[in-house]
Structure 1
Amino acid sequence: MSAASSTTPGSPQASSDPRPQAGRPDAALDPQVAQLLDLIARAKRPPINALDPLDAKIAYEKSAPILDIAPLPVHHVQDLSVPARDGHAIGARLYAPREASWADPLPLLLYFHGGGFTVGSPASHDPLCRLLSMRADCMVLSVDYRLGPQWRFPTAVHDAFDVLAWAYAEAGALGADPARIALGGDSAGGTLATACAVEARRLGHAPVLQMLIYPGTCARQDTPSHRALAEGYLLTAEMIQWFFAQYLDQDSSRDDWRFAPLDGGGSGADVAGCCPAWIAVAGYDPLHDEGVAYAAKLRAAGVPAELAEYPGMIHDFFKLGRFVPAVGQAHDDAVAALRGAFGAA
């Protein structure tokens, strides 16, 4: 990760705790992020949690491209179908930056989109997956796992595990190198990526990286960052609870490590022996503290974990690159983490 001054908006810094404290001025926000939040407040559109789930899905898909970077041209994009354990066909979108073959296989990133297990799709995260594919010189397999409320926990986890096993089994046929597979995801997708890292270890696989972008990791949203940032920073406490109401089959599922790898059931997932991690957290994100804590959990178990702090950013900032230029630094850092894990120069 590139070195940066702690005063550079949006840039990662080494501070152990860059969170906004009570009474800290909003000047710590990236200026473009502050402007964006003001525009959203002025628009007075109903938040996603005020919509019914179907309308929320439609609204998210329509709004996703507005603030995101322009999609990069990619050599090859293909929609695939992966069999699930219950016979369902899981959709997936494969990106390739160039031709691959048995003789010259490409690394592969298995990617899970965010959206609170309720909204989002490979289409909503298409620009990000294109960027990662082209700049990290890897295939990206973006998974269209099933969403709530039609499909509740643990269906999304089962879909993620089934695609994980399939990706390793079919890597050669795809032109991917099974020795250079990484896992990644943002927000809820980051939760699925953490679970896949544990499942990969169980299956005897060795992913080279888990790239976790503002992941959800805790059973209950009671950290200091959740309390301090409950409203006003795009992702609100009410929104988080609405998402989980669509996803969870019962409240006790919060204690399942596949939902809460940090502390589900008291101790969370057994992460010893899991693959190294790169974890991005935003200073003005309610999920900030659980991302930091998960990095600490991995390190305590002997798993290398690099924590990238972006103090001036908010949740979902990886998809705000059209409006917030400083997001480019985070994209650069994610690409560097992938290339380093894949062994690229």
Structure 2
Amino acid sequence: MSYEAGRGELDPQVESVLEMVNSIDFALSDYPPEEARDMMERMAEMSTADPVDVDDVREETTGEGDGVGVRVYEPEDAPATVVFFHGGGFVVGSLETHDSLCRLLADRSGLRVVSVDYRLAPEHPFPSAVEDAYEATKWAANRYDGAVGVAGDSAGGTLSAVVSLIARDRGMPDVDHQTLLYPATAYDEPMPSRSENASGYFLEASDMMWFASLYVGSDIHARNPYAFPLRASDHTDLPRAHVVTAGYDPLRDEGAEYARVLDEAGNDVTHTHYPSLVHGFLNMEGLVDRAYDAVDEVADETRDALV
């Protein structure tokens, strides 16, 4: 299997989105975290379509007191569960910014989706998000019958990969599938896509540096494989994986590299590359038609793995 992932001709609808975003000339890292979060919420409202109906949508908590908040999207007779972690560099993003995507995944897969409201940096730096993600996955595995998978985009894709590593290392819970949507898997390793797509394509290099500084804080934490999973010394015996990358994404090469490493370690891997699209395109379904193709593929692959 080839894990080469380059750029094609930019999708015309994405080009229109970028013209709009770049005309504003801002970066999330120009603002304090609270303001950046508000901007992310507004951007999500602009780029997503009207939410689809799911049979049951409810708020729950994984335990008493300091439990992790989750939003459960449950189609009727859902046979399995996907624990979903939203993106946002571990600093921004929320249940609301990814509500539309979670609804689509639940609707098109027929699977239960548990979206996790994990703690954000800088108020709660590494390993807080990892602890919450793992806790929520254990909770879902104990609460619901059927197989359990993990999924997420960007920072959420990182958490999906990390939870898969922790579950293997600790022997619990059983994670049967990992969906890694344009994940961040490395810290500061030089990769062509980081310079090639450093600016002008939605996710900015300055934002990536800002996210990392607020999340890990030090080089010691940054070298921890539970922060960035490409650092792990052992990638064997991990769940079946579906890795999605985009051509105009600074994280493109580390996503493709993680797929290659998983494959070489003997795991079952599917890597889908969208050469004409940008980071975060799955949350742009209100503006970019190709987002629906990716949602359908993720839904089909996840259902096939879990049912």
TM-score (normalised: structure 1)? 0.85
Indicate the residue corresponding to 1:240 in structure 2: 208
Q: Cα distance 1:217–1:16, how it changes in 2: closer, same or farther (>3 A)? A: closer
Q: Say if 2:20 is the partner of 1:17.
A: no
Q: Once the two structures are aligned, what percentage of the paired residues are identical?
A: 35
Q: Secondary structure at the match of 1:129?
A: helix
Of residues 204, 215, 219, the one that matches 2:187 is 219
* Aligned residue pairs, count: 306
Indicate the residue corresponding to 1:91 in structure 2: 69
Q: 1:332 offset after TM fit, Å?
A: 1.4
Indicate the residue corresponding to 1:151 in structure 2: 124
Contact 2:141 2:174 (C-alpha < 8 Å) held by counterparts: no
Q: Cα distance 1:15–1:270, how it changes in 2: closer, same or farther (>3 A)? A: closer
Contact 1:261 1:269 (C-alpha < 8 Å) held by counterparts: no
Q: 1:164 offset after TM fit, Å?
A: 1.5
Q: Say if 2:169 is the partner of 1:195.
A: no
Q: Secondary structure at the match of 2:72?
A: strand
Structure 1 CA distance for aligned equivalents of residues 117 and 43 of structure 2: 18
Q: Secondary structure at the match of 1:141?
A: strand
Indicate the residue corresponding to 1:278 in structure 2: 242
Q: Secondary structure at the match of 2:256?
A: helix
Structure 1 CA distance for aligned equivalents of residues 125 and 294 of structure 2: 32
Q: Summarize deviations over 1:285-324 as a string: whole Å, max 9, x none.
A: 0000001110111111110110000000000000111111
Q: Summarize deviations over 1:128-183 as a string: whole Å, max 9, x none.
A: 10111111011100000000010010111111111122122222xxxx42xx1111
Q: Say if 2:27 is the partner of 1:64.
A: no
Q: 1:235 offset after TM fit, Å?
A: 0.6
Q: 1:269 offset after TM fit, Å?
A: 4.9
Q: Quick one: which amino acid aligns to residue 96 of structure 1? A: E
Structure 1 CA distance for aligned equivalents of residues 248 and 43 of structure 2: 21
1:291-330 → structure 2 map (5 Å cutoff): 291-330=255-294
Q: 1:16 offset after TM fit, Å?
A: 4.8
Indicate the residue corresponding to 2:112 in structure 1: 139
Select the structure of larger CA radius of gyration: 1
Contact 2:3 2:257 (C-alpha < 8 Å) held by counterparts: no
Q: Quick one: which amino acid aligns to residue 161 of structure 2? A: T
Q: Secondary structure at the match of 1:28?
A: coil
Q: Summarize deviations over 1:75-111 as a string: whole Å, max 9, x none.
A: 1011011238xx523110001011x4xxxx6210000
Structure 1 CA distance for aligned equivalents of residues 172 and 89 of structure 2: 29
Task: Provide the aligned C-alpha RMSD in A.
Answer: 1.7
Q: Quick one: which amino acid aligns to residue 238 of structure 1? A: S
Q: 1:15 offset after TM fit, Å?
A: 7.0
Structure 2 CA distance for aligned equivalents of residues 138 and 328 of structure 1: 17
Of residues 256, 261, 265, the one that matches 2:229 is 261
Which has the higher mean CA deviation after the structures are superposed, 32-41 or 107-116? 32-41
Q: Quick one: which amino acid aligns to residue 20 of structure 2? A: L
Indicate the residue corresponding to 1:9 in structure 2: none
TM-score (normalised: structure 2)? 0.95
Q: Quick one: which amino acid aligns to residue 108 of structure 1? A: T
Q: Summarize deviations over 1:20-48 as a string: whole Å, max 9, x none.
A: 3xxxxxx710011111111212233x321
Of residues 130, 136, 157, the one that matches 2:103 is 130
